[in-house]
Structure 1
Amino acid sequence: MENGNDLTNPTSKELLEKQPLAKSEMIDWLKAIIVAIVLVFIIRWLLFAPFIVEGASMEPNFKTDERVVVNKIIYSLRDPKPGEVIVFHVRKEGEDFIKRVIGVAGDQIQYQGDNLYVNGKKVEESYIQGAIQKAHAKGELYNNVDFPNGTITDSKVPEGYIFVMGDHRNNSRDSRAIGFVSIKDIVGRADVIFWPLDSMQWVKHK
């Protein structure tokens, strides 16, 4: 007998039909979550990694406590280039450093005052030019740290190694103290400063 009401109660058959649909949706969500976790793992451990800057050795371009994204795959495709900012392991120190590549295999490094020469040719370091000019305006040298045995390295950068220095030349523990860095110890290239937000920018490698 009709009662004039268009609404009907769901039958047990309809409920049974909806259960497989709900189960299918849960499986799809579970698959999506698993894929997301796998992607995060791949990106975090194989391709990119965060790094926290500690200390003032890379000022004025990097400040302590800034977070950077390190590209871990780039040097499996090619060798480091002069001017690039890298993160690398220092085995005898038991920690990671962030520095700038100054010389690669075969290069002869010479540093006289604030003048950098690679293979006898002066290198214009645009990434610290402003800091150098400020120091000179005060009648000071931006770099007042000599190489341990003079202004020239003992020999050319050997094959499989690089020579690195911090941008804050008079306040950096780098190849002038720890020697050449093995390419095998490089974690990757610092590509992005992502924290704090007001410092977010692409890293300048020249």
Structure 2
Amino acid sequence: MNAKTITLKKKAKTKWIVILSIIFIAALIFTVRMAFYKPFLVEGSSMAPTLKDSERILVDKAAKYTGGFDRGDILVIHDKQSGRSFVKRLIGLPGDSVKMKNDQLYINDKKVEEPYLKEQKQKVKKLGVALTGDFEVEVPSGKYFVMGDNRLNSMDSRNGMGMPSEEDIIGTESLVFYPFGEMRQAK
């Protein structure tokens, strides 16, 4: 063998090592991501128009362990009684005072904007009704107050679902990945 042949073999061997390394790293990243992310099917219209029935989302399970949740996050919650999981928006944190008056949300007596409801509020205002009925509640320690974005058609902390604890929360919505043509981060 001449020097040129040896050099070509070394280049080919190096190329395969790089390709296999890239494949290994990609597989490792995929495995780690799947350990922290879980696909979830949205069932029903309680989060419309933010999330639609039959959309598929990725749930960030790590959020539970890396800094908690923020008001406004979209959560996936497992209900032990029914064995089902639901998607709802986090409104009140443990210890919060949550009040809805004249379709305006107040947390700890401070006015809170809900930009994700703007479109729906405009529609129901034309009908002369409120999107969200008046209520006032104190969120107990260790519990969270959640509501669906489709306030007129959502079972949530106001009406039967109760307030989930941190152990009931699977994670936060990370990405709508299906249908592919509507891929987005919902907020």
Structure 1: gaps (5+ residues): 1-24
1:105 is the counterpart of 2:94: yes
RMSD: 2.5
| Contact persistence 2:51–2:186 (CA under 8 A) | no
Residue of structure 2 equivalent to 1:170: 152
Greater shift in the superposed pair: 104-113 or 186-195: 104-113
1:190 is the counterpart of 2:173: yes
TM-score (norm 2): 0.81
Shift of 1:160: 2.1
Residue of structure 1 equivalent to 2:69: 80
Among 33, 53, 57, the residue aligned to 1:43 = 33
Q: SS in structure 2 opposite 1:73? A: helix
Identity among equivalent positions (%) equals 38
Among 136, 154, 161, the residue aligned to 1:152 = 136
**How far apart, in 1, do the equivalents of 2:101 and 2:62 lie?**
35
Among 127, 130, 139, the residue aligned to 2:119 = 130
Residue identity in the other structure for 2:146 = V
Shift of 1:85: 0.5
Q: How many residues align?
A: 177
Residue identity in the other structure for 1:44 = M
**How far apart, in 1, do the equivalents of 2:108 and 2:17 lie?**
62
**How far apart, in 2, do the equivalents of 1:32 and 1:200 lie?**
26
Residue identity in the other structure for 2:34 = R
Residue of structure 1 equivalent to 2:106: 117
**How far apart, in 1, do the equivalents of 2:76 and 2:59 lie?**
7
**How far apart, in 2, do the equivalents of 1:85 and 1:32 lie?**
34
Residue identity in the other structure for 2:182 = S
TM-score (norm 1): 0.74
Runs of 4+ in structure 1 deviating by more than 4 angstroms, as ranges, are 25-39
**How far apart, in 1, do the equivalents of 2:128 and 2:122 lie?**
10
- When Rg is computed on C-alpha atoms for both structures, the one with the higher figure is 1
Q: What's the CA shift string for 1:118-152, capped at 9, x where partnerless?
A: 112221110111110111022222235x6xxxx12
Residue of structure 1 equivalent to 2:80: 91
1:66 is the counterpart of 2:49: no
